[in-house]
Amino acid sequence: MGRDVSQGAFTPEDRVRYRQKVRRCLDVFALMLDDFGFDADRPMTGLEIELNLVDSRAEPAMRNEEILADIADPLFQTELGQFNLELNAEPRLIEGTGFADYEHDLRSSLTRADERAARSDAKIVLVGILPTLTEGHLVEDNLSTNERYRVLNDQIVGARGEAIELDIRGVEQLRTHTDSIAPEAACTSLQFHIQVAPDSFADYWNASQAIAGVQVAVGANSPFLYGRQLWAETRIALFKQATDTRPEELKAQGVRPRVWFGERWITSIFDLFEENVRYFPPLLPICEDEDPVEVLHAGGVPKLGELRLHNGTVYRWNRPVYDIMNDRPHLRVENRVLPAGPTVVDMLANAAFYFGLVRGLAEADRPIWSQLTFSSAEENFHAAARRGLDAVLHWPRFGDVPVTKLVLEQLLPVAASGLDGFGVDPAQRDRLLGIIEQRCRTGRNGAVWQTETVWAAERHRGMDRSAALHHMVQRYAELQRTNEPVHTWPVN
């Protein structure tokens, strides 16, 4: 939900008007899917990275507004918490040296941002959940000052009507309550975008859902929250719970959560937008002046503002996107399952694995979703979030299989073939997929490095948990700047 919002109080009439407008947009979108020219000739990709700011003691630094002003770069934006920033990479093709170009640009942008942050006694850390966050940090007063976050907070908390419960049981257990959505700010993610044609969107979305568990297992990097070791990718549980608008009674009735895996394979992108309208009441009922029917009949490109805003408040792990660039509409799959970090090269390895694997499976002769039940895909997703590289997933022809075995024996060759289909330079392909291979062979990703480093600090240095976490974050920040992949990092 990246747009600015200033209105804070909505009337019943606002909600009725907005609901009608959303449905009008949905009808126009259906017409566009039938005979409109969407931009899909050369599929562009995109990356978004959410960042953490820490001070010299590895504590969260609530300074994003002043640091953002100093950076003065439109690629950097605010995020939910005052210790967050977001970096949006320039969209590009990944053919040829596209990944090398991403790496150069991301490292340059982050280095420059780090230099600006240093002026405010802060530095950037790329991690799924900042391990030194406490409940005292994640409060409403520490939300970013942009009014849209306050409005969103008020609407989610108001819809629930009671305190939000966090209950995450992993290696250790966390159970607490919050009166705001501020804990969501702890969830800093890496998001991939891939542009697709309308007639192939369902294949790419279904393939993205099928591999979500594999992605999370290989890329997990969020094992700690509030000083407790929970899931390998605790961000999955935290994000769902921190934005849940449902009291217990609605959960018991089967009302869908706004952070949602979904419940079925699809045949069209329309299925997802129609589900959003059917299942989820509006959080931000703000209408625009555009009449999409008139725009369409006049030969223009409707913005469908209300439909897009509503879509932005339903947090699917693989989200459908309708957007307009250079006066041409296009469709994207927005893959949201992964955490930020640990390094730029690690994130690009995750990107290469996703883009290659999703293309390889989407264009396979026998679709993976015709062999894997949707419920198995969802169970894989949560099993991977809990156990990371130790997860056992269900996969066609393998049955229940360790995720590392599945990746090494089955999925890496598919990803390589998919990258070849994009025209990726073979040296780039082999370098980035080689990082995924080595994570699986060594059993070491970001989550494993974090937990091993904290254990070592506790057992061999005599530190308590808080001191061990601060030590680990300091070391993490140093190693992150080497851009050496995390499976090579020493534990000390």
What does the pLDDT look like over 281-336, one tens digit per residue?
A: 999 999 999 999 999 999 999 999 999 999 999 999 999 999 999 889 999 999 99
**Residue 6 pLDDT exceeds 70:** no
Whether pTM exceeds 0.75: yes
Predicted local distance difference test score (pLDDT) of residue 64: 96
**Residue 253 pLDDT exceeds 70:** yes
What does the pLDDT look like over 191-223, one tens digit per residue?
A: 999 999 999 999 999 999 999 999 999 999 999
Least confident among 116-125, 155-164, 253-262, 361-370: 155-164
Predicted local distance difference test score (pLDDT) of residue 278: 95
**Residue 490 pLDDT exceeds 60:** yes
What does the pLDDT look like over 219-235, one tens digit per residue?
A: 999 999 999 999 999 99
Predicted local distance difference test score (pLDDT) of residue 1: 42
**Residue 262 pLDDT exceeds 50:** yes
**Averaged pLDDT, 148-169:** 91
**Residue 454 pLDDT exceeds 90:** yes
Predicted local distance difference test score (pLDDT) of residue 4: 47
**Residue 190 pLDDT exceeds 60:** yes
Predicted local distance difference test score (pLDDT) of residue 39: 86
Give the whole-number percent of the chain exceeding pLDDT 90: 91
What does the pLDDT look like over 372-416, one tens digit per residue?
A: 999 999 999 999 999 999 999 999 999 999 999 999 999 999 999
**Residue 260 pLDDT exceeds 70:** yes
How sure is the predictor about 3, in pLDDT bands with cuts at 50, 70 and 90? very low
Least confident among 11-20, 214-223, 270-279: 11-20
Render 207-221 in DSSP notation, one character per residue: HHHHHHHHHHHHH--
How sure is the predictor about 174, in pLDDT bands with cuts at 50, 70 and 90? very high
Predicted local distance difference test score (pLDDT) of residue 382: 98
Cα-flanking dihedrals φ and ψ of residue 440, to 5°? Answer: -70, -40
CA distances from 279 to 154, 250, 274, 411 (A): 20, 13, 9, 34
**Residue 148 pLDDT exceeds 90:** no
Predicted local distance difference test score (pLDDT) of residue 7: 52
Q: Which two tokens stand for residue 455?
A: 């254990």
Predicted local distance difference test score (pLDDT) of residue 185: 97
Predicted local distance difference test score (pLDDT) of residue 40: 82
How sure is the predictor about 131, in pLDDT bands with cuts at 50, 70 and 90? very high
Beta strands in 279-373 (DSSP E): 315-316, 318-325, 328-339
Q: What mean pLDDT value characterizes the chain?
A: 95
**Averaged pLDDT, 421-425:** 97
**Residue 9 pLDDT exceeds 90:** no
- Cβ-Cβ contacts under 8 Å for 437 (sequence gap 6 or more): 407, 408, 412
Predicted local distance difference test score (pLDDT) of residue 26: 97
In 3D, which of 331, 336, 330, 332 has the Cα closest to residue 316? 336
3-state secondary structure 100-114: HHHHHHHHHHHHHHH
Cα Rg of the chain (Å, integer): 22
How far apart (Å, rounded) are the C-alpha atoms in residues 332 and 170?
34
Predicted local distance difference test score (pLDDT) of residue 8: 55
Q: Which two tokens stand for residue 369?
A: 């979703």
